Amino acid sequence: MSTQAVGGISLEAVLSRLLRAKEQEIPEIVGQLPEHQRADLAVFCYGRGHLQEIGFAIAATCELPALMQAAPSNAAGNALFAQSRRRPKQVQRPAAGSRARITLAKSASGNSDLARIIASLANDDMAECQPA
């Protein structure tokens, strides 16, 4: 996935907003992205434990063919599509003090640039939480 600007907004800015957003805000945030980029982002987020709910919310904005193309297999794309439509609409995200485990390993699909951006944003968030 490219980290270039989309509609004048960088992918880094989109990711930053996603990490801070409430679940109901996610469709509006990713709505400016082309569907193939939304599908790539959904697959990327779904593959990381701490971003899985964001991945589901993004996948819910995508059609099945886009998710199947973005996923490592048709079965994976189909499963992500089905799960994104089956899940409850209001999922509680962890409270500020109970951070989920962060998984930022380089993905087989070549999204290392995206992983680097998310790691940078996570590090920024961690620095803000540290006492001065």
Per-residue pLDDT of 6-43, as tens digits, reads 556 677 888 889 999 998 999 999 998 899 999 999 99
Within a domain: 2: no
3-state secondary structure of 15: helix
Whole-angstrom Cα distance, residue 80 to residue 66? 11
Residue 29, class by beta-carbon neighbours within 10 Å (0-12 exposed, 13-18 middle, 19+ buried)? buried
This prediction has a pTM of 0.64
Per-residue pLDDT of 41-65, as tens digits, reads 999 999 988 899 999 999 999 999 9
Domains: count for the chain:
1
Within a domain: 87: yes
Angle between helices 11-20 and 52-59 (to 10 degrees): 110
% of the chain with per-residue pLDDT over 70: 59
Within a domain: 6: no
Residue 80, class by beta-carbon neighbours within 10 Å (0-12 exposed, 13-18 middle, 19+ buried)? buried
Within a domain: 102: yes
Contact of 93 with 63, CB cutoff 8 Å = no
The per-residue pLDDT for 123 is 64
Identify the domain containing residue 29 by its residue range.
11-129
The per-residue pLDDT for 16 is 87
Is residue 93 over pLDDT 80? no
Contact of 33 with 6, CB cutoff 8 Å = yes
Whole-angstrom Cα distance, residue 90 to residue 103? 24
